[in-house]
Structure 1
Amino acid sequence: MKKSIIQILELPVLLTMALGLLACGTKVVSSAESPFSKERGGFSVKEEPLEITVWTYFSGIQQEAFQRTINRFNEGRGKDIGVEVKAYNPGSTLDLQNNLYGINQKKLAQGDYPDIVSLHTDTAMILEEEGVLTDLDSYFSKEDWSAFVPSFLEEGRLGRKYGGVKILPVAKSTELLYINKTDWDSFAEATGTSLSELSTKEGLLNVAEKYYRYTDSLTETPDDGKAFYGIDDYANYMLVGARELGVNLISVDEEGNPKVQFPKEVMKTLWDNLYVPIIKGYFTSEGRFRSDDVKTGDILAYTASSASSVYFPKEVIISDREQHAITDIVLPAPHFEGGEEIAMQQGIGMGVVQGNKKRVEASVQFLKWLTSYEENAQFAISAEYLPVRVDSFTVEAIDKEKGSGMDPSLEKALSTMSSNTLYFTPSIINLAEIRKALEYELQDKALSDRYKIETAMASGVSREDAIAEYDNDENFEQYYETILQEINYLLSDS
């Protein structure tokens, strides 16, 4: 089994950085008081603009949308206040984290630091402990904050009840259920199955079993049914699923100390609704993403980020000779029957690196512009995310950017986040490693055991007997003890 514990990079005390950094004051700075305003004698049109840099992990349409947004700022508001923004992409999220963690090790000069960085909470926690991030409460008024969706701001406070906002929400997403409607229609007509059966995880599992038996019946080969469903993010399944069952697997107290709660009965329910259907061939994960598995015909449906809707394939390609066009339908992600309806809250947030007061001020001016009503709606929606403001967190805002009814995925994401209780992962230093443990301990074990079952079946063992070797309490107990030990180890190191 693939080992999922990866030691987090050491972040030494940022002595080199500290020498060049100035602490921000506590006074809220209005736009009129900004040193960049012309009334205050800011940069004149004859002077070179102050250049600030943004490090992001964006790619594809996100990167394109962000660059268009930066261009609008530089040609408009930025020109007025003498500020020019440039974006850099060090690579993936992990590449960005490694660059941030290694700032002091590389002994970069102050001018080489980014001014603004795209952040997840675990990275922000490490930088925050070293005093690297600016407290944005010093620059945004209560009226400014009242424009944001409250849950988005809460996440940006890094789990500290009385702490300031360190990650400014910029764009948000949730998870949705994507279905190959073309092939679903054929299956549904043949079996009398309804889309309404997919509203719960238990119903989804029943449909997946029905689909396996239906596809098995289409050939003379026994036990060659196809998987119906897959998941992009196993950690989200574990965290949100447990929350729907009334438990926070990982949480923090008011002081930010991590807590673990892994009731065996809750973990068994999560196991029964993911591990078991994988080893039975009802669910699977073949390609890098589940949209890849739909394209190859390995599954019919999957749960993934609402921001990934543009990657749903337009056709299924079985071989060079066998392919057909498909359309999609988007539904809310299924919930556990009888549990609280929880929606995953995730997306893009940005922090400002402590430094020269003028650079911090300029960075804040850009972020205020980026989260203004029109600009935030235009950027977020064009990047296939939802805006973060209360006044633009609406169907009308989506329709204005995309056209009425032209983006059902975003509209479904909006209705999901508006009607469900929102959940975001707690702010813990080792969160990335904890998520990897939740992701790969179950995924790797399930896929490995499924392969062993298929091997046994190929050698003549019956499907029922092959599955029984793994679908038992002893196997679950082994997994439970392993994951609990791993999570406790990671938390003790955080």
Structure 2
Amino acid sequence: MKKLSILFLTILLLAGMTGCGNKAANNPITLTMWHVYGSQTESPLNTMIDEFNQTTGKENGIFVSVVSVTNSSAIDDALIASAHNEPGAVSMPDLFTAYPRVVEEIGLDRLLDWGEYLSAEERSAYVDAFLEEGILEEHLVMLPIAKSTELLFLNKTIFDRFAADTGASEEDLLHFEPLFHLCSQYYDWSGGQEMFQINDFYHYFLVNIAGRGGEFVQDGTLDCSSKEFEQVYFPMARAAIHGGLCTGDGYASDRWKTAEVISNIGSTAGMLYLRDYVTYQDNTTEEIETAVYPYPSFSDASPTVIQRGAGLFAMKSTDERKNEAAAVFGKWITEQKHNLDFVTVSGYLPVTQNAFSTLFSDMEIVKEEKFRMLYGAVDQMYDSYTFYPLPLYDDSGETQSRFEETIKSVLSIAHRDYINRIEQGEEPETVMSELLDASLSEIRRITER
């Protein structure tokens, strides 16, 4: 009888333990998410989230539901609309990727402090500079999950034809002075086509002014009056006014598809969107060879490049289970294996020290040749470049957008004026000199308002 009682008690205990184990599965937590990594159908992060949901998420009763995949500007706008309860705005997601600039709009107190869910050992695993970027008022509100920098991408197939006719060299792509000269050469050689696009003029001025010892952002405003600004502006503006440097809207990846531009400066993650073929206006296609180079520098300045990349934010919930679930996912996506699996198919940099060392000590872990080429270019910069983080100040996102619009608009108008005036017989260098000075004055007038 005693043996039967012990057996019965054991069965009850086992049943109770099974019930506890299934409790999370029977009452799962769903976390909605907006992010910027790829498109809805071809997103490397979506692939990783599927793996999480089927493994660790399933074991812990956590399901991450991706609601939106778009670009950072669109997410910024949607987050601000949601935070302010604007008409037609959708509910805030539980998780989202963004830059720290959104914090002032959402409210620091509404965001999860990841630091409360990380041990000292876990925290020490991250690259210090990446972690520090997400700390605001001593709260770790942005968890780094992937970082990037900028490189120069080249359609080598078309560039080689240009080089064969003009004597241009790939060495000319390493410094801005000869690169901007090539833009004008290419414009003339191609009958009016643009060669080069800078995806972010704001970044261009930030890092190249810093490389000369100056600061583009002074007390939360843009300083376009400095001699360093002029030194960075004039070579770039000359190429844009003559032709060959694109000042149109949109990303270079769209123009890359049709060879409207054959080179660009953009995020390492831009490799995802650069096709291995182009489609011409007559609907014919051509396979191309892509080459990747370090971010160019000015020959008389210190090489400097942007440190960029959105991070992971979570809305703080009154349901502590949601906060803990967010922490489980955040830790999982930054574990070495998962982080490397994610970043090496998307062109990003890993965020922990061990993962970073592993990647750059053994490029063979990168499966695709084009991504090995990309990381090789980053490796060339790692010891000799200064990596410059985006400054955070009030309305920084809006300031950047306005500056981009101003630069593109002013230089586009100057280019049209230049073409019209030289077609009417005016002396090209005289016209160029006038438009360089006039365009600089106009940019200063607009940004100082």
User: What's the TM-score bracket when you normalise by the shorter of the two chains?
Assistant: 0.7 to 0.9
Q: How big is each residue's C-alpha offset from its partner over 1:351-407, in whole Å with a ceiling of 9 and x where there is no partner?
A: 121112221111111100111111111122223322111111223565324157763
User: Which residue does 2:164 correspond to in 1?
Assistant: 189
Pairs within 5 Å for 1:319-358? 319-320=281-282, 324-355=286-317, 356-358=319-321
Kept after mapping to 1: 8 A contact 2:145/2:350 = yes
Q: Percent identity?
A: 23
5+ long unaligned stretches in structure 2: 1-16
Residue from 279, 283, 289 that aligns with 2:251: 289
Distance of aligned partners of 1:470 and 1:262 in 2 relative to their CA distance in 1, 3 Å threshold: closer
CA contact (8 A) 2:33 2:67 kept: yes
| Pair 1:300-2:252 in alignment | no
- Pairing 1:471–2:436 present: yes
Bigger mean CA deviation after superposition, 426-435 or 46-55: 46-55
Shift in alpha-carbon separation, 1:231–1:94, aligned structure 2, 3 A:
closer
Which stretch shows the higher mean deviation, 191-200 or 435-444?
A: 191-200
Which residue number in structure 2 is paired with residue 180 of structure 1?
155
State the partner residue of 1:220: none
Q: What per-residue deviation string (whole Å, max 9, x for no partner) do you get for residues 419-461 of structure 1? A: 4221121122311111112212111100111112223334444
| TM-score, normalization by structure 1 | 0.78
| DSSP 3-state at the match of 2:246 | coil
CA distance in 2, matches of 1:389, 1:133: 23
Higher share of residues assigned helix: 2
Cα 1:406–1:369, aligned 2, differ >3 Å: closer, same or farther? closer
- Aligned counterpart in structure 2 of residue 146 of structure 1, from 124, 141, 149: 124
Q: Among residues 72, 87, 97, which one is paired with 2:51 in the alignment?
A: 72
Secondary structure class of the residue paired with 2:309: strand
Once residues 382 and 61 of structure 1 are traced to their aligned partners in structure 2, the CA distance between those partners, rounded to angstroms, is: 16
Is the partner of 1:169 in helix, strand or coil? coil
Counterpart in the other structure of 2:445: 481
Aligned residues: 428
1:377–1:397 CA contact under 8 A, matched in 2: no
CA distance in 1, matches of 2:370, 2:436: 45
Q: Is the CA contact 2:293–2:377 (under 8 Å) kept in the aligned structure 1?
A: yes
Query: 1:241 and 2:208 equivalent?
Result: yes
Instruction: Assess if the C-alpha contact under 8 Å between 2:248 and 2:408 holds in 1.
Output: no
Matched, 1:364 2:327: yes
Q: Is the Cα contact below 8 Å between 1:174 and 1:346 reproduced in 2? A: yes
Amino acid paired to 2:296: P
Cα distance change, pair 193–94 in 1 and its aligned pair in 2 (3 A)? closer
TM-score by length of 2: 0.85
Using the alignment, how far apart are the partners of 1:61 and 1:413 within structure 2? 28
TM-aligned CA distance change 1:83 to 1:406, over 3 Å: closer
Q: Which amino acid aligns with 1:482?
A: I
Tell me how far 1:229 sits from its aligned partner: 2.0
1:203 and 2:203 aligned: no
| 1:225–1:281 Cα contact (<8 Å) kept | yes
SS at match of 1:172: coil
One-letter amino acid matched to 1:167: M
Relative distance call for 1:115 and 1:235 in structure 2 (3 A) is same
Matched to 1:412, the amino acid is A
Distance 1:365 1:188 in 2: 53
Distance (whole Å) between structure 2 residues aligned to residue 63 and residue 350 of structure 1: 20
Three-state SS of the structure 1 residue aligned to 2:344 is helix
Cα drift, residue 261 of structure 1: 4.5
1:171–1:387 CA contact under 8 A, matched in 2: yes
The Cα shift of 1:186 comes to 2.6
- Map of 1:374-389 to 2, 5 A cutoff? 374-389=337-352
Letter aligned with residue 374 of structure 1: K
What do the CA deviations read for 1:48-89 (whole angstroms, capped 9, x no partner)? Answer: 322222222444289622222112111111122222221211
Residue 169 (structure 1) shift: 0.6
The alignment partner of 1:340 has SS state of coil
| Conserved 8 A contact 1:293-1:299 | yes
Q: Return the offset for 1:295.
A: 4.1
| C-alpha deviation, 1:418, in angstroms | 5.5
Indicate the residue corresponding to 1:114 in structure 2. Answer: 93
The match for 1:310 is: 272
Cα distance in 2 for residues equivalent to 1:414 and 1:421 = 13
1-structure distance, mates of 2:57, 2:98? 23
Write the deviation string for residues 95-144 of structure 1: whole angstroms up to 9, x where unpaired.
43344334455499xx9642222121111233244x11122221112221
